[in-house]
Amino acid sequence: MEFRSMGDIMMNAKFYSRELIGCIVETIAGTPVGILDDIVIDTVGGRVKYLLIKPSGSVINGPAKVDEEGRLVVETNRIRLESGKIVIN
């Protein structure tokens, strides 16, 4: 899998899922969380609902929502694009 920086992608006003998958995800403190593995779309509203992140270790303090494959489930209202990475607030 090729790891991509959001800096390579942010030049466009729109993003394709293939451009985001594989990007590094960090906390606001700069601690690596993992790699973006997939995106979940709300088919009724047509919006991105969750990001599924393959964790790179135990970096989340407290309970975390995970799917059946052990990926972190992060709501999109908790993320932002910053300094070329996906950052979890």
Domains and CATH numbers, the chain: 6-88 (2.30.30.240)
30: DSSP letter: -
Structure tokens at 70: 């052990």
pTM score, two decimals? 0.76
Report the distance separating Cα 15 and Cα 79, nearest Å. Answer: 15
Q: Where are the beta strands (DSSP E) in the chain?
A: 24-27, 32-42, 47-55, 72-75, 79-82, 85-88
Residue 46: pLDDT band (50, 70, 90) is: confident
25-38 tens-digit pLDDT: 998 888 889 999 99
- Residues 56, 19, 37, 86, Cα dihedral to 10°: 50
% of the chain with per-residue pLDDT over 90: 26
